[in-house]
Amino acid sequence: MSVRQYELIYIVPPDSTEEAIAEVHTQVATVVERFGATIERTENWGRRRLAYEINRQREGVYVLEVINGPGAMTAELDRRLRVLDAVIRHLIVRVDEELSVAERAKANRKAAMVARRTKRGLPPEPTEDEKRRREGEDDDMEGGLESGFRAGGDR
Amino acid sequence: MNGDFDNRGGRGGRGAGGDKDKDKEKGGGRRTFFRRRRVCKFCVEKIDYIGYRDVKLLAPFIPERGKIQPRRISGVCATHQRALQKAIKRARQLALIPYVTE
């Protein structure tokens, strides 16, 4: 059984009580536990405006759960959430693959930078001095543009 | 039948010829004067993961109407446009972004 990471987001109506939200959470937690999975973290985004009406509601309370567990769990979660009246919308997304791809891209870019720099006989990491100089260059460019505009205005 | 076909072919040919002439005369100028070099925002800013929860990141690629901005306008590279498209579609399901706006 492979453990995968999923993000579950559900929206409950804005007028639901704290208890109602906690109830949905425990429902999710029991399913998750049954599959031997774990909830990594839970985020309550609070009330947000919906981009469009859902069940005549213009607002909703968003809750995010990051879950590590097997794929079979998502089917069960999906089924349960669809039945729950307290949840007006939910979405389960598998994220581990996408995040690992992003991680790898980052690592590759860093490795390429280190290789490039060592080839040129520089220390692998940009020094503080270089970073400062790069920022300085940007400032100069902006400054140059501004002074250019001013010169034009004077004429 | 045959006449139709010839006619169509002729029209198409003439049209294409005209375009080519325009390209020769104005195209060069247009390219140098108006066409700004478009670069992929995600490549430039080194954004690896286009998350569906990040409305601020997605918003610039959704014009007023709510449609996904085509690549030829935004200049996003193919890889990132694919990721962007997925993220936008997920965000729509969660009512973070509208499907359509009137």
Output the average pLDDT for chain A.
Answer: 84
> Which residue has better confidence, A147 or A38?
A38
> What residues pair up with A44 in beta bridges, in sequence order?
A63
Q: Is residue B98 part of a domain?
A: no
Residues A3, A69 contacting (CB under 8 angstroms): yes
Cβ partners under 8 Å of residue A99, min gap 6: A5, B49
How does pLDDT run across A66-122, given as a tens digit for each residue?
Answer: 999 999 999 999 999 999 989 999 999 999 998 999 999 999 999 998 898 888 888
With 0.80 as the threshold, say if the pTM is over it.
Answer: no
Q: In what order do the strands lie in the sheet with A57-69?
A: A38-54, A57-69, A4-12, A89-94
Q: Do residues A40 and A96 lie in contact, with contact meaning Cβ atoms separated by under 8 Å?
A: no
Identify which of B46, B49, B98 has the shortest CB distance to residue A51: B98
CA-based nearest residue in chain B for residue A110: B46
Per the domain annotation, does B66 fall within a domain? Answer: yes
Q: Has residue B101 been placed in a domain? A: no
Burial class (CB in 10 A: 0-12, 13-18, 19+), A2: exposed
**At a CB cut-off of 8 Å and minimum separation 6, what does B89 contact?**
none
Domains assigned to chain A? 4-94 (3.30.70.60), 99-154 (no CATH)
User: Within this chain, do residues B71 and B88 fall inside the same structural domain, yes or no?
Assistant: yes
Residues B82 and B49 in one domain: yes
Asked if this assembly's ipTM is beyond 0.85, the reply is: no
Pair A29, A39: CB distance under 8 Å: yes
Q: How far apart are CA B98 and CA B55, in angstroms?
A: 11
| Partner residue facing A102 (CB), from B48, B94, B98 | B48
Same domain, yes or no: B45 and B89: yes
Distance linking the first and last C-alpha atoms of chain B: 45
Q: Is residue B3 part of a domain?
A: yes
pLDDT digits (tens, 9 = 90+) for B27-72: 455 555 556 667 888 888 888 889 999 999 999 999 988 899 999 9
Q: Are residues B76 and B57 located together in one domain of the fold?
A: yes
- Residue B87: domain span: 41-93
Looking up residue B80, the CATH number of its domain turns out to be 4.10.640.10
Residue type for position B92: R
- Nearest Cα of chain A lies from the Cα of B44 at a distance, in angstroms, of 13
Q: Are A81 and A9 in contact (CB under 8 A)?
A: no
| B66 and B28 housed in the same domain | no
Residue B52 in any domain: the answer is yes
- Identify whether residues B47 and B85 lie together within a single domain: yes
Give A144's DSSP letter: H
Does residue B46 share a domain with residue B28?
Answer: no
- Of the listed ranges A26-40, B21-35, B41-55, B84-98, the least confidently predicted one is B21-35
Q: Which of A52, A90, A92 to substitute to test the interface with B, most B CBs within 10 Å?
A: A52
Query: Are B52 and B26 part of one and the same domain?
Result: no
| Sign (positive or negative) of CA dihedral A76, A82, A86, A89 | positive
B88 and B46 both lie in a single domain: yes
* Overall number of domains in chain B: 2
**Cβ contact (<8 Å) for B48 and A106?**
yes
| Inside any domain, residue B99 | no
Give the CA dihedral B66, A78, A25, B56, nearest 10 degrees: -20
Query: Domain for residue B77, yes or no?
Result: yes
Strand partners, A9: A64, A91
Query: What residue type is B36 in one-letter code?
Result: R
**Nearest chain A Cα distance for residue B78, angstroms:** 16
Residues B48 and B21 in one domain: no
Shared domain for B26 and B47, answered yes or no, is no
Q: Does residue B67 sit in the same domain as residue B31?
A: no
Is B76 part of any domain?
Answer: yes
B62 contact partners, CB below 8 Å, separation of at least 6: B68, B69, B88, B97
Q: Which residues of B touch A64 (CB under 8 A)?
A: 53
Inter-chain residue contact A60 with B95, CB threshold 8 Å: yes
